[in-house]
Amino acid sequence: MFLMRRAVLLPLTWTNSCRTFCVSKSLQMERKGLVLGVFEKKEKEGSLHLTEAAEGFDRKVSGKLSELLKISGPSLKKGKSRVFYGVHKDFPCVAVVGLDEVTAGVCGAENWDCAKENIRAAVSAGCRVLQDLDVNHVEVDGCGDPQAAAEGALLGLFQYDQLKSKKKPKVTVQPHASAELTAWEKGVLYAEGQNLARLLMEAPANHITPTAFAKTIEERLAQYGDRVLVHKRSQAWIEEQGMGAFLSVSKGSEEPPVFLELHYNGSPDSAQAPLLLVGKGITFDSGGISLKPSASMDMMRADMGGAATVCSTVVTAAALKLPVNIIGLAPLCENMPSGKATKPGDVVTAKNGKTIQVDNTDAEGRLILADALCYAHTFNPKAVVNVATLTGAMDVALGSAATGVFTNSDWLWEQLHKASIVTGDRVWRMPLFQHYTRQVTDSQLADLNNIGKYSRSGGACTAAAFLREFVTSPHWAHLDIAGVMSNKDEIPYLKKGMSGRPTRTLVEFAAALAHNK
């Protein structure tokens, strides 16, 4: 039965008690909702422009939706939402979300596609509101870009509550009306890839050890059969490879290290040079003997964010059946203090024979990546991209706005930049001057120093310069993701917690590489 008009309208600024009062028990039992979009038309204050799906729904309900929108107050701003009840018998709850102007597109100043970002944010807001109303199935308006809508829905609904006794209801989503299914399903896979990275990064370090991390990824890839090969390399193998830098970090922990090696063979040409992705996999970083302050040390369970995003990219590439060969490498270990741990001033030898003076054991990520990068080159890759929560200096420089990219290749930078505009998960190029190289090669005891001559100045840049000493590929990029590791409220379609960034950008980059040879 259609309720009285004033009772039907429930602006989201009302209290929870008022909202609960207005939703009947029968509506709660249905637990089915719909998210529809409406564009903001700034040239005419208060005017409405419904999306195609919203217009179709409005016709079904004899114009009730547009009538309710007109009487509900000021025009709906982008990213905001309103919920209406009893409008249609199949959808007890309908969330209408505000989109930007119809003409919104790529913005050079922001370095992203405004239309896609607005859709992600708006759809996410609508889905979350319905989730709070205990809705367990939501149909989503494609809003003109079903991929972006699917990403917004699934990214917005993600929550890590695996270890809680009381959980929020799980919400299933599907496209509404005539949304293009291929684009929608692509968006689902992109979002699920990022959510896998978030799941790994959010989990406590005693649940995601190096061994558990490798097992989780192996299980996710098992369904793809012969197209995927997984090697979980043991400590004995790591020692045989002469990876002294990696071993110097792992030796302080009781947890054994694992070198995870993933091969996705998606190209019909088996001889095609692979894309090499390398991710830092410190499953917990105490700082080692150079112990971190206790405040916020719990966040260091996500110091394997590089490995999480790289491995999730491989999983997503397999799910998308991308016609490209990808090899993912993840050196996994803990960085812990103990009687066996590396001490400041120790000298270790990397796989390529270079010696490293370890003056700060908390600069450990570059050590494990050094050996992984040496190993990566044995596959004669088309390009090498490493990803790491490497330096607090990157967080200081860019914050959560973008991933810092250091690269020796203009071509590779252009490909990553184009991908980030599509995904909205931005990248920003940083310098690789010889100025920084001189600071890491000026070492008293060895070929290199792991913190550089001036440890506080240009820390992200000297870390990148250090990694460059282990690179021979003409197409290499280092992505420092320390600033984008977590989300507070900066990205509206990601809840507070670990972000899983920039998984979608890596997937989009790999997809473009596959289809634009």
Alpha carbon distance 213, 209 (integer Å):
6
Residue that terminates a domain, selected from 176, 205, 228: 176
Give per-residue pLDDT as tens, 260-300. 999 999 999 888 999 999 999 999 999 999 999 999 999 99
Residue 98 lies in a domain: yes
Give per-residue pLDDT as tens, 329-363. 999 999 999 999 999 999 999 999 999 999 999 99
Residue that terminates a domain, selected from 149, 176, 203: 176
Q: Are residues 198 and 346 in the same domain?
A: yes
40 pLDDT band, cuts 50/70/90, is: confident
82 pLDDT band, cuts 50/70/90, is: very high
Q: Where are the alpha helices (DSSP H) in 52-179?
A: 52-60, 64-71, 114-132, 146-157
**3-class DSSP string for 152-170:** HHHHHHCCCCCCCCCCCCC
- Assess contact for 365 and 371: CB atoms under 8 A: no
| Active site annotation includes 366 | yes
Helix (H) or strand (E) run with residue 346 in it: strand 346-349
158 pLDDT above the threshold of 60: yes
Q: Are residues 213 and 109 in the same domain?
A: no
Residue 201 lies in a domain: yes
Residue type at position 209: T
Q: Are residues 199 and 153 in the same domain?
A: no
Residue 187 lies in a domain: no
Alpha carbon distance 282, 305 (integer Å):
8
**What's the confidence (pLDDT) of residue 3?**
35
Q: What is the DSSP letter of 254?
A: S
Number of neighbours of residue 134 by Cβ within 10 angstroms: 16
171 pLDDT above the threshold of 90: yes
Residue 184 lies in a domain: no
Residue found by looking up tokens 């009781």 in the block: 254
Residue 181 lies in a domain: no
Residue 185 lies in a domain: no
Residue that terminates a domain, selected from 142, 176, 210: 176
Supply φ then ψ for residue 187, to 5 degrees: -65, -40
**What's the confidence (pLDDT) of residue 265?**
97
Residue 339 lies in a domain: yes
454 pLDDT above the threshold of 70: yes
Q: What would you report as the CA-atom Rg of the chain, rounded to the nearest whole angstrom?
A: 25
pTM value surpassing 0.85: yes
Alpha carbon distance 111, 105 (integer Å):
11
- Assess contact for 403 and 505: CB atoms under 8 A: yes
Domain of 482, CATH number, reads 3.40.630.10
Alpha carbon distance 191, 193 (integer Å):
5
Residue 183 lies in a domain: no
Q: Are residues 250 and 156 in the same domain?
A: no
Q: What would the two tokens of residue 323 be?
A: 């016609």
Domain of 104, CATH number, reads 3.40.220.10
Q: Are residues 54 and 202 in the same domain?
A: no
For 134: left if phi > 0, alpha if psi spans -120 to 50, otherwise beta; the answer is left
Q: Which of 64, 351, 366, 495 is catalytic?
A: 366
For 58-62, 75-79, 367-371, 444-448, which range has the lowest pLDDT when averaged over its residues?
75-79
Q: Are residues 172 and 245 in the same domain?
A: no
Q: Are residues 70 and 133 in the same domain?
A: yes
Edge-to-edge strand list for the sheet holding 448-449: 346-349, 355-358, 448-449
| Active site annotation includes 321 | no
4 pLDDT above the threshold of 50: no
- Assess contact for 245 and 257: CB atoms under 8 A: no
Peptide bond into 210 cis (omega under 30): no
Q: Are residues 49 and 123 in the same domain?
A: yes
Q: Which of 31, 292, 429, 453 is catalytic?
A: 292
> Which residue range is the domain that position 344 belongs to?
194-515
Q: Are residues 331 and 380 in the same domain?
A: yes
Alpha carbon distance 129, 48 (integer Å):
22
27 pLDDT above the threshold of 80: no
Alpha carbon distance 35, 26 (integer Å):
20
- pLDDT over 90 for what percent of the chain? 84
Q: What would the two tokens of residue 412 be?
A: 């590779």
Average pLDDT over residues 178-198: 95
Helix (H) or strand (E) run with residue 20 in it: helix 16-22
Q: Are residues 229 and 95 in the same domain?
A: no
**What's the confidence (pLDDT) of residue 44?**
53
Secondary structure (DSSP) of 388-455: E---HHHHHHHTTS-EEEEES-HHHHHHHHHHHHHHS--EEE----HHHHHHHH--SSSSEESS-SST
Supply φ then ψ for residue 370, to 5 degrees: -55, -50
Paired residues of 261 in beta bridges:
231, 329
Q: Are residues 159 and 224 in the same domain?
A: no
Supply φ then ψ for residue 77, to 5 degrees: -80, 160
17 pLDDT above the threshold of 70: no
**What's the confidence (pLDDT) of residue 24?**
42
462 pLDDT above the threshold of 60: yes
- pLDDT over 70 for what percent of the chain? 92
Q: How many domains does the chain have?
A: 2
Q: Are residues 362 and 421 in the same domain?
A: yes
